[in-house]
Structure 1
């Protein structure tokens, strides 16, 4: 299982999750040139180690385990995967 950042990140793009990720799986980070161009952050499913650190610090409660993404946010799963495709 991996984690997914949902559309609840849009508008905030809080980087608390980037700061606590032990494997640098969340992008774009503030120092990335694409940061300003993206409306939300994404978790790399190939790097995520399911540590839950990102989910617990997200002030927008925008991060879910893939299996627990609410039905109304199901499109976030594909949007997250597309970012890393």
Structure 2
């Protein structure tokens, strides 16, 4: 099991979670932050600091956000274990689940 970052993070990316993660398993995508599930140690440090309440323990992920469990896993397909976000460039693309979220209009 791991933690998952869900829809409330899309287009927000506060990044408070990055400073709290002791194993550096949270990676930045173009529109959302992602937790590499095989690097996550389930410490929960990221959850209380998220100002938009987007971080959930995988078993506690609300049904409305269930597709984000897959997104946080599949976005790392082909990357494997990058070995920590501090030494890794931002991800080149978001998962299709994130791409499907309408981009907010800027007025």
Aligned length: 77
SS in structure 2 of the partner of residue 19 of structure 1: helix
Deviation at 1:11, TM superposition (A): 1.8
What is the root-mean-square deviation in Å for CA atoms of aligned residues? 0.9
Consecutive unaligned residues of structure 2, counting only runs of 5 or more, are 78-107
Q: With structure 1 as the length reference, what TM-score do the two structures score?
A: 0.86
Tell me if 1:83 matches 2:63.
Answer: no
The residue that corresponds to 2:12 in the other structure is 12
Larger Rg belongs to: 2
Q: Which has the higher helix share?
A: 1
Aligned to 1:22: 22
Q: Distance in 2 between matches of 1:57 and 1:73?
A: 19
Q: 1:67 and 2:34 equivalent? A: no
The C-alpha deviation readout for 1:11-41, integer Å capped at 9, x for no partner, is 211100011100000002xxxxxx5xx1100
Structure 1: runs of 5+ lacking an equivalent: 29-34
Secondary structure of the residue that 1:54 maps to in structure 2?
A: coil
Moved over 3 A (4+): none
Q: Is 2:50 the partner of 1:58?
A: yes
